[in-house]
Structure 1
Amino acid sequence: MRHWSKFSRSAKIKTAGYLISVVSVVLLAIVSWKNAQKDPVLAVCLFGGAMTSMLGMGLRWWSYEIEEGEKK
């Protein structure tokens, strides 16, 4: 993994966007938890949805890092 100072400007913006998206998912999950905890199915769906969303963002960022490495 590259050190932050070696990231291009576009890579820094892309990384910041993914991090903001992760924070957004966490905040929305926190707000939704009060209702979801009343029903086990809703709780599992909320947790699963939040986790898969963050995993997807992580994989997209990782694929970007791999592509950048392959260009070199």
Structure 2
Amino acid sequence: MANWLTGVGYALSIISVALLAWVAWPAPDADRALVGAIIAGAALSVVGMVLRWAAHIVQNRKIEEDN
């Protein structure tokens, strides 16, 4: 159950990152560096959340194996 709840939490966080990136998206004539920063920031945030969720699953499996 905890893995499912953790997964839902991370999925909601990923959706919130996408929404924030969407709102922050600059106008077509804006600096290209800003576009790159928004894409990189959103991508890194999503990758970080996926890695944290994977680490959580691995840690729970190790705990179950030890018991």
Please state which band the TM-score falls in when normalised by the shorter chain.
0.7 to 0.9
- Structure number with the bigger relative contact order (C-alpha 8 A, sep ≥ 6) is 2
TM-score (ref. length: structure 2): 0.84
- After TM superposition, the structure 1 = structure 2 runs for residues 21-40 of structure 1, keeping only pairs within 5 Å, are 21-35=13-27, 38-40=30-32
Report the equivalent of 1:4.
none
Identity over the aligned pairs, expressed in percent?
Answer: 31
Distance 1:65 1:42, change over 3 A: same
RMSD between superposed Cα atoms in Å: 1.6
Q: What stretches of structure 1 of length at least 5 have no aligned partner?
A: 1-7
Q: Which moved more, 1:29-38 or 1:18-27?
A: 29-38
2:23 corresponds to 1:44:
no
2:12 corresponds to 1:20:
yes
Tell me how far apart the structure 1 counterparts of residues 40 and 28 of structure 2 sit (CA, whole Å): 12
Query: 1:34: Cα distance to partner?
Result: 3.1
Between Structure 1 and Structure 2, how many residues are aligned? 64
Whether the 8 Å contact between 2:26 and 2:35 is mirrored in structure 1 is no
TM-score (ref. length: structure 1): 0.79
Whether the 8 Å contact between 2:26 and 2:34 is mirrored in structure 1 is no
Tell me how far apart the structure 2 counterparts of residues 26 and 32 of structure 1 sit (CA, whole Å): 10
